[in-house]
Every structure is written in structure tokens, then in C-alpha cells.
């Protein structure tokens, strides 16, 4: 199994600041525009929340089997609201959109979609 990392470098210090691991490919990474948080997700379903208040980028929460598996949505696997309160992603299945609280990753809402073959108005 391949393990890849999200690595953040401080270009002023030319030093590695963060090297958190996701199993498989890293499929999304986004900064919160309002609060000091960084989010990343991996191709085997993991979702990570990091604190960016200091140079340590402490891992605050790591959830498994949360984001839909695979890399079809990469690099746009995660999206965050303009006010920084909520984040949305496809998962845990390909037919679910999850909305979570951006500070805690607690689930706020799930939207389920069903594909009915041959029901497209013909």
C-alpha cells in the first residue's frame, strides 16, 4: 500500500512544517478563509482537520471512511463555504453529499442521490 503525505513548507524558513499522512493519494486540500484551519482528504476515504494557528499544524481530528473513495474528484474533493462555517464533500458513498461543521467536522446534513437507470424522461 502506498502512503502519501500532505507536506507544507515554510518558504521563509525553508523548512518542512507539516507532513501528515493519508493512505493512498491525497485528493483534496483546502484552507478555511476565516478560521485557522486546513483540511485534507485521501483516496481511501480519510478526512483530516489541522490547526494552523502556529507553525506546528497540529492534527485536530482524523476521520476514516468519510470521503468517497477514489480520485475522480481530485483535486476538488473538498469545498468550504465563503463564511468558513461549513465544508462539503462527496462521501461516504458516491451518491452522498455530506455537509459538516468546519470547526469540528461534525455532520450537519447528508444529501442522498439515487440513479434510476432508464428514467430520464423517454
Per-residue confidence (pLDDT) for residue 98, from 0 to 100? 93
Give the residue extent of every domain in the chain: 25-112
Placement of cell 434510476 in the chain: 116
The pLDDT tens digits of the residues spanning 49-84 come to 989 888 777 889 999 999 999 888 877 889 999 999
- What is the pairing mode between strands 47-51 and 59-63? antiparallel
The arithmetic mean of pLDDT across residues 38-51, rounded, is: 90
67, 74, 99, 55: CA torsion to nearest 10: 90
Q: Count the neighbouring beta carbons within 10 Å of the beta carbon of residue 33.
A: 11
Look up the pTM and report it: 0.76
CB 9 within 8 A of CB 58: no
Q: Which CATH class is domain 25-112?
A: mainly beta
Amino acid at each position: 500500500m502506498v502512503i502519501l503525505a500532505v507536506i507544507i513548507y515554510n518558504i521563509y524558513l525553508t523548512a518542512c512544517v507539516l507532513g501528515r499522512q493519508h493512505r493512498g493519494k491525497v485528493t483534496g486540500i483546502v484552507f478555511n478563509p476565516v478560521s485557522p484551519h486546513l483540511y485534507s482528504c485521501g483516496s481511501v476515504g480519510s478526512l483530516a482537520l489541522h490547526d494552523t494557528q502556529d507553525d506546528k499544524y497540529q492534527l485536530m481530528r482524523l476521520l476514516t471512511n468519510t470521503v468517497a473513495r477514489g480520485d475522480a474528484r481530485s483535486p476538488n474533493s473538498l469545498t468550504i463555504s465563503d463564511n468558513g462555517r461549513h465544508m462539503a464533500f462527496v462521501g461516504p458513498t458516491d451518491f452522498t453529499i455530506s455537509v459538516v461543521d468546519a470547526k469540528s467536522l461534525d455532520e450537519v446534513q447528508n444529501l442522498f442521490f439515487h440513479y434510476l437507470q432508464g428514467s430520464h424522461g423517454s
